[in-house]
Amino acid sequence: MMNNVLVQKTPGRHNVLEDFADAIQRCVRCGACQAYCPAWSAGRREGDVARGKVAVAAAMLAGELGRGAELESAARQDISLCLMCGSCTCGCPNDVPTAEIVGAIRREVAAEAGLSAVGVGVAALLGSKTLMRGVAAAGAALAPLMMEKVPESSGLRLRFPLDRLPAVGERILPAPAGKSLFARLPERIEGQPGRPKVAFFAGCAITWLFPQIGEKMVEVLVRLGCTVYLPKGQGCCGMPALSSGDGPLVSRLASANVRAFAPLNVDYIITACASCGSGIGEYYHTMGGDSAILAKKVVDFTVFLEEEGVCERLAALPRAVKRQKVCWHDPCHLKNRGILAPPRHLLAALPGVDFVEMEGASRCCGLGGTFSVHHSEESLLIGEKKVEGVQECGAELVATACPGCVMQLETSLCRAGLPARAVHLLELFGEAELAALAND
């Protein structure tokens, strides 16, 4: 979970750098963070590692960095080299919340010098559902012209050829969906009396790129007898905007999500994307007010399913004759919230799965939101380190619970020439598994 994040006293206000003054002083420059920092493993520069970023924060608080261009140059160089994965905090003996400090610095830099070009693009896209729909529709229409299948026999993995879009490199992208999740499902599905009333927070990736994951999530909840709400007024969780330092956009998105979910009076708000869960469940908590009230109801789907006895129901099914060897990748935004056991329990209980533990399962995959755009080469280098664990355990599939991780892992596996694929955990639930969940 987020360690020692300061809960703000003024509702709706983002933490500023001064709020972390005590936490910054707790950094004793011991260097323990080096062992956990994926950016350090790729670049091995002092500015890459957490203590280097905390040193920048301390200099800013002390007035040792000028404003304007000087601040922008210092912060953009070192502070952009952070995936905000929180791994350093998990290994820090003094619980210095570097990711939150980096976020505060990025917001200050954006306020002083404006958003980067990537930040401007993120703001334009996430701030307009109309633009988002247009981009998704255009992507689906142009995909056959601009993308090629990898491998040729598969329609599941696509990439932009290098000679057409060199900035994208070898990244694997999903085939754009023809219809968004909200165009496929109703806003409310009535459940059984006495069963939980839940809302599903889909997030951008599941809504526009992986609607099949959202459909499977809703189907699982319906089979469990839950009344399920899928409010169309919901939008992005704000994590991409948070990564780019756009505090005002995060606030607007949070307000829109509060308006969409608050009137529903549900027992839980379920997420199937680790980053979204961290955004609306952890970061919204620090914003106070109505955002913090919403955050209290947020629960990751793996935690919810385990508490609902799904593992026991799945384990009662006969084991499949032909099973796939599957390992698990811990998304940073689950690992840092302490959600380690529930997804493993679910995987081990699936009758068609032979679950194997992967070395380095909790190592960051290297995506890091806008990090993968600003620092594509470093992102790919970090991703290569995940491949070693997959090779060693011999897994056919790498399961995870973050659509971003799925794309990054697919890229890493494809670049390494491995036949293994990355999937969302929910994609492993077939009809037999769904039938076992029926709440008769």
Query: Considering the domain boundaries, does residue 291 fall inside one?
Result: no
Mean pLDDT of 262-276: 97
Domain boundary residue, one of 114, 138, 168:
114
Task: Give residue 179's pLDDT.
Answer: 87
Query: Considering the domain boundaries, does residue 6 fall inside one?
Result: no
Query: Considering the domain boundaries, does residue 360 fall inside one?
Result: yes
Task: Give residue 76's pLDDT.
Answer: 61
Mean pLDDT of 50-73: 78
Task: Give residue 71's pLDDT.
Answer: 59
What is the model's pTM?
0.90
Number of domains the chain is built from:
2
The CATH number of whichever domain residue 411 belongs to comes to: 3.40.50
Query: Considering the domain boundaries, does residue 201 fall inside one?
Result: no
Query: Considering the domain boundaries, does residue 183 fall inside one?
Result: no
Q: Domain residues for 82?
A: 17-114
The CATH number of whichever domain residue 75 belongs to comes to: 1.10.1060
Q: pLDDT (tens digit, 9 = 90+) per residue, 289-330?
A: 999 999 999 999 999 999 999 999 999 999 999 999 999 999
Task: Between 236 and 138, name the one with better pLDDT.
Answer: 236
Q: pLDDT (tens digit, 9 = 90+) per residue, 114-154?
A: 888 888 888 888 877 777 777 666 666 555 555 555 554 44
- Residue 157 pLDDT > 60: no
| Dist CA 156 CA 111 (whole Å) | 41
Domain boundary residue, one of 92, 114, 136:
114
State the pLDDT confidence band at 164, using cuts at 50, 70 and 90: very low
Give me the chain's average pLDDT, please: 86
Mean pLDDT of 65-82: 67
- Residue 239 pLDDT > 50: yes
Kindly report the CA angle at 371 between 248 and 382, in degrees rounded to 5?
155
Domain boundary residue, one of 114, 135, 161:
114
- Residue 426 pLDDT > 70: yes
State the pLDDT confidence band at 360, using cuts at 50, 70 and 90: very high
Query: Considering the domain boundaries, does residue 385 fall inside one?
Result: yes
Query: Considering the domain boundaries, does residue 284 fall inside one?
Result: no
Mean pLDDT of 240-257: 93
| Dist CA 384 CA 379 (whole Å) | 9
Query: Considering the domain boundaries, does residue 392 fall inside one?
Result: yes
